[in-house]
Amino acid sequence: KNIAEITTDLAAADQRRNPEMIAKSQMSPQEYEAWTTFNDRLWHLPEIDWDNNQLPPHISLRSRKIARRRAEALNRLYKTDRAHEGHITWITQNKLEFLPL
């Protein structure tokens, strides 16, 4: 292979591993609009009281796994390490409109 073929292959491989690009390709139109609005800083994240807005997490393993993944996403969005499964339980029971975040 010549250098052009090698670099083209590398660029294609990098695109396949880009999680943001993968996520955007799987978003619904509504999710994509919310994402771009947030990235353009036209929409601000709602306040979360990390000390009070929480409930005991679900017992089932599947529900906890989903909640753990969502809590990790909250931590990244809010640039914190305080979100955990209990916050997700509270959000699903009290602020369902937050879930598209």
CA distance 50 to 31: 25
Give the pTM: 0.64
Mean pLDDT across 33-42:
86
3-state secondary structure of 98: helix
d(CA 22, CA 85): 25
Count CB atoms within 10 A of the CB of residue 27: 14
Q: What confidence score (pLDDT) does residue 15 get?
A: 56
pLDDT at 45 (0 to 100): 84
When the pLDDT of each residue in the chain is averaged and rounded to a whole number, the result is 84
pLDDT in tens, 43-88: 788 899 999 999 999 889 999 999 999 999 999 989 999 999 999 9
Packing angle between helix 85-94 and helix 61-78, nearest 10 degrees?
90
Q: What is the pLDDT of residue 83?
A: 96
